[in-house]
Amino acid sequence: MSSSQTLVVKLGTSVLTGGSRRLNRAHIVELVRQCARLHAAGHRIVIVTSGAMAAGREHLGYPELPPTIASKQLLAAVGQSRLIQLWEQLFSIYGIHIGQMLLTRADLEDRERFLNARDTLRALLDNHIVPVINENDAVATAEIKVGDNDNLSALAAILAGADKLLLLTDQPGLFTGDPRNDPNAELIADVHSIDDALRTIAGDSVSGLGTGGMATKLQAADVACRAGIDTIIAAGSKPGVIAEVITGTPVGTRFHAMETPLENRKRWIFGAPPAGEIIVDDGAISAILERGSSLLPKGVRTISGNFSRGEVIRIRSLQGLDIAHGVSRYNSDAMRMIAGHHSRQISTILGYEYGPVAVHRDDMIVS
Ligand SMILES: Nc1ncnc2c1ncn2[C@@H]1O[C@H](COP(=O)(O)OP(=O)(O)O)[C@@H](O)[C@H]1O
Ligand SMILES: N[C@@H](CCC(=O)OP(=O)(O)O)C(=O)O
């Protein structure tokens, strides 16, 4: 078998339930058996598991609940402990310890918390413990949620420094149309770049069990590939699928990683969903795009959202085009005050300063 690899395996609700209303233990144990073999062969496996809400519903006997966020959080709170218990039991059959990590977007968009989460994840792996990750649904509000486990798994793959990301679902891969309602849809075996044409064929979840369908899987593949991580979408029910991904046997849809991935320190900027947005003028855009400069407050026109110093923000043109993502040197209130002003006026306006730039070039990724 190939030399030691780090693989993030994301299991959607569709795989864990096998399309039913309950967790399919027989099927999950088979996936754990595959992971245990690879673990024994020296590979580092990270599990990103959905299924907390499904487990909660099952445990409570399918209660009639109002369609509110609080109901979803209730189900996730009940289900997460059942879910982790199941993973724990199944991995213990093979003498493997697991470590639970419940994350939200807020843990990944602040650099210090990102580095903390990364240290924990890597410490687990270094000690041969399998990290089992889910979103912390019980406490996450809309503002701090990643929102779906496909995108969460791409961020986990960046955190883990993974070689590959495997998204296991109920379809053999990405098709030219949703196979549930298009009998002529064909499997796409290889994707070298994710464009709008591809995005239009990736539909939402129709099972009602999963979140995001193929659309969020494409977003995840895009994030991971830009970070240099090959991403594969394949069927969780295919025998030996995880080992095939490790050995590089063609399976499902493979998204090829970019050959010149973002440098390490910039990956988290790209992975982090923006906490706010600023609109900049045309002069600032040519400075950023043509001269490779930092963004100065002078070029900032308007600010939306509330963000702290150090958070990732989106930089857009007056026409609404996405120009870059970057780490803001000033919080949103300060940015509103210094917008349009020369850098030498910052300390007079604010009474302090964190340097002349609004977003430094080194902390920026051009879209
Ligand atoms: N182009 C496509 N190719 C394959 N599946 C698609 C496509 N468009 C939409 N889908 C749907 O996406 C579903 C898988 O996503 P989802 O229900 O969120 O599963 P999971 O729980 O595994 O994340 C499939 O069951 C399928 O109906
Ligand atoms: N965190 C949620 C799952 C969210 C999600 O993205 O689900 P899925 O599309 O099935 O991977 C849960 O544990 O129920």
206 pLDDT band (50/70/90 cuts)? low
Ligand 1 in contact with 14 (CB < 6 A)?
A: yes
Q: What is the pLDDT of residue 366?
A: 86
Quote the CA–CA distance of 125 and 45 in Å, as a whole number.
8
The reported pLDDT for the residue numbered 330 is 94
Interval 111-156: pLDDT, tens: 778 878 988 999 999 999 999 999 999 988 777 788 899 999 999 9
**Residues that constitute the known binding site for ATP:** 10, 169-170, 211-217
Does residue 88 have its Cβ closer than 6 Å to ligand 1?
Answer: no
- The fold of 274-366 is 2.30.130
- Please state, for a pLDDT cut of 70, what percent of the chain lies above it: 96
* Res 147: pLDDT: 86
**Average pLDDT in the 69-77 region?**
94
Number of H helices, E strands in the chain: 14, 13
Q: Quick one: pLDDT band at residue 212, thresholds 50, 70, 90?
A: confident
H or E segment to which residue 224 belongs: helix 213-226
* CA pair distance 174, 220, nearest whole angstrom: 13
Pick 269 or 3 by higher pLDDT.
Answer: 3
Q: Does ligand 1 have an atom closer than 6 angstroms to the CB of 172? A: no
Q: Is ligand 1 within 6 A of the CB of residue 49? A: no
Output 195 or 265, whichever has higher pLDDT.
195
Q: What is the mean pLDDT of residues 47-63?
A: 97
Please enumerate, by residue number, every residue annotated as part of a binding site. Answer: 10, 50, 137, 149, 169-170, 211-217
The DSSP symbol for 345 reads G
Q: Please give the average per-residue pLDDT across 222-249, as a whole number.
A: 95
Diameter of the chain by CA atoms? 67
Q: What is the pLDDT at residue 310?
A: 82
Pocket lining: 174 vs ligand 1, CB cutoff 6 Å: yes
- Position 1 scores a pLDDT of 46
Question: Are the CB atoms for 211 and 147 separated by under 8 Å?
Answer: yes
Read off the pLDDT of each residue in 177-188 and give the average, rounded to a whole number: 94
Backbone angles phi, psi at 167, to 5 degrees: -100, 105
Strand, helix or coil for residue 161: coil
Of 227, 218, 221, residue with least CA distance to 260: 227
Q: Quick one: pLDDT at residue 311? A: 84
- Per domain, the residue ranges of the chain are 6-267, 274-366
CA of 134 to the centre of ligand 2 (A): 8
Does 219 sit in the ligand 1 pocket, CB within 6 Å?
no
Distance 152 CA to ligand 2 centre (A): 10
Q: State yes or no: pLDDT of 242 exceeds 90.
A: yes
Average pLDDT, rounded, for the chain = 92
Q: How far is the CA of 209 from the centre of ligand 2 (A)?
A: 8
Q: Tell me, what's the pLDDT at 333?
A: 96
- Answer yes or no: CATH 3.40.1160.10 is held by domain 6-267: yes
Per the CB < 8 A criterion, the answer to whether 252 and 234 are in contact is: yes
What letter would DSSP give residue 256? P
Give CA separation, 249 vs 154, 189, 241, 355, in Å.
Answer: 21, 12, 9, 51
Among residues 149, 173, 153, which one has the least CA distance to residue 241?
A: 173
ipTM, 2 decimals? 0.98
Length of the chain in terms of residues written: 367
Q: Provide mean pLDDT across the span 282-289.
A: 96
Instruction: Give the closest residue to 108 by CA, choosing from 220, 275, 230, 264.
Output: 275
Fold agreement (6-267, 274-366) = no
Per the CB < 8 A criterion, the answer to whether 167 and 217 are in contact is yes
Q: What pLDDT does 240 receive?
A: 97
